[in-house]
Amino acid sequence: MKTARPIPAEAAPAASFDEFFREWYPTVARAMALIVRDRDHGRDIAQEGFTRLYANWSEMSSPVHSRNFVFKASINLARSHLRRRRPLELVGLGSTELFGSISDASQTSEDRILLSAALARLSRRQRESVVLVDYLGYDAGSAGEILGLAAPTVRVHLTRGRAQLRLHLSDSKEER
């Protein structure tokens, strides 16, 4: 009797949509909340992204493919949401609650509020690049695939976004 050769984790499809959802929904929801600057809309966008993934679940060849699909769908939905927002909402800093999106437990809620406000002041592309690379741990190439950009373009947005974050955060700390 032959024993099946184990399939590498990168190539094995997720055991079930439910398992994949339980594992990735919190991360996708937090990332979308950072991008749209609103916790509830971030959750709604993540749910819609997963709905689209579910409709295409049979076509997913690996967990990585599924993850990239849900992030790409959710980011496109977030972009649509931001385009539809009223201009007056865009002037403000939006929601300042990151609800535990920063993994450093030593960070105070005031620091989270400052970070959220600083992220809100970045351009859309800078914010998306910073969230995907610095928060979610994607490399520039993978983030570029999700955003529909070349890796060097992601790196440019990332560098500029980080510089703006440093500037906004240092200004905020001086005001304290």
Q: What is the pTM of this model?
A: 0.61
pLDDT of 168 above 70: yes
Q: Does residue 30 sit within a domain?
A: yes
Q: Does residue 10 sit within a domain?
A: no
Percent of the chain with pLDDT strictly greater than 90: 47
Whether 97 and 41 have beta carbons less than 8 Å apart is answered as no
**Average pLDDT, whole number, for the chain?**
79
pLDDT of 3 above 90: no
pLDDT at 78: 92
pLDDT at 8: 42
Report which residue type is found at 157. H
Q: Which residue's structure tokens are 């749910």?
A: 47
Contacting residues for 94 by C-beta, under 8 A, at least 6 apart: 36, 37, 38, 116, 120
Q: What is the pLDDT of residues 23-61, one digit of tens each?
A: 999 999 999 999 988 899 999 999 999 999 999 999 998
Q: Does residue 7 sit within a domain?
A: no
pLDDT at 4: 41
Query: What is the SS3 string spanning 140-168?
Result: HHHHHHHHCCCHHHHHHHHHHHHHHHHHH
Write the Ramachandran bin of 151: left for phi over 0, alpha for psi from -120 to 50, otherwise beta. alpha
Q: Does residue 12 sit within a domain?
A: no
Give the domain CATH number at 159: 1.20.140.160
Q: What is the pLDDT of residues 61-75, one digit of tens each?
A: 899 999 999 999 999
Q: Does residue 2 sit within a domain?
A: no
pLDDT at 6: 42
Q: Compute, in degrees rounded to 10, the torsion defined by CA atoms 109, 111, 116, 118.
A: 160
Q: Does residue 4 sit within a domain?
A: no
Q: What is the pLDDT of residues 102-158, one digit of tens each?
A: 344 445 677 777 888 888 899 999 999 988 888 888 889 999 999 999 999 999 999
Q: Does residue 9 sit within a domain?
A: no
Report which residue type is found at 109. S
Q: Does residue 77 sit within a domain?
A: yes
Number of domains observed in the structure of the chain = 1
Nearest to 41 by CA among 92, 107, 97: 97
Nearest to 56 by CA among 76, 80, 73, 32: 73
Q: Which residue's structure tokens are 């949509």?
A: 17
Domain of residue 105: give its range.
17-175
